[in-house]
Copies of this chain bind each other. A is one copy, B any other.
Amino acid sequence: MPAFEKIEYKPISVREILVEMKDISEFMIDLAYSAALFHDKELADEVVHLENRVDTLAYLLDMSAMLATRSPEDAEALVGVSAVASAADKISDAAADIAAIVLRDIRVHPIVREAFEKVEERLGCVKVVSKSVLVGKRLDGLKLEAKIGVNVIAIRRGNNWIINPKPDEIIEDEDFLIVRGAPGGMVDLKGLAEGSLRKLEG
């Protein structure tokens, strides 16, 4: 469990906060199902981290919304925003519940795993070490999808999350990459990230 973050009011727009809450909560669902299906505690830990982030965003959104309210009309307009935010928060809680199953070592029934495997591509999580060839490279320059059939769908950098990173994002030492794709490609990417593989074929 991460320690509680101290929440300070920062002037972020309500719009930015809501978009981030929505993106993270949807992403958490994918992550949590993958964690359950493959009994992957690293992915489950990431879900718990993200839940913490969504909780922080929920507070920031409430503060920003209150500060932005000057008239009864403002209040009426913002109540819908706050309801959408609280739904995103509930979704992230559900994802955290699934992650908790994994962290408590409760295994998903193999029959169910088989059923899910057919519809899911594998999600995985790799940590980039300083000697990795990935460090300093732009995402699009690596052509990971074409070469090994995997996509980087998020990056965790310290306590920050970059969901759906842009093609020109540059990979840094210590980044956690969340990737979706073929299991074989995932093995190659792990090799690159951990420095045991220096280049890709093809």
Which chain A residues have a beta carbon within 8 Å of chain B's beta carbons?
A: 13-16, 18-19, 22-23, 26, 29, 32-33, 36, 76-81, 83-84, 86-88, 90-91, 93-95, 97-98, 100-101, 106-112, 114-116, 119
Contacts and interface: CB of A to CB of B under 8 A. Distances in A.
Contacts of A14: 109, 111-112
Given A101-B83, A116-B19, A107 B77 contact: yes
A106 B83 contact: yes
A88 B116 CA distance: 14
Contacts of A88: 94
A107 B14 CA distance: 15
Contacts of A26: 29
A118 B162 CA distance: 17
Contacts of A115: 15-16, 18-19
A55 to B, nearest CB: 15
A83 B98 contact: yes
B97 A80 contact: no
The listed residue with most B CB atoms (<10 A of its CB), out of A80, A83, A101, is: A80
B94 A80 contact: no
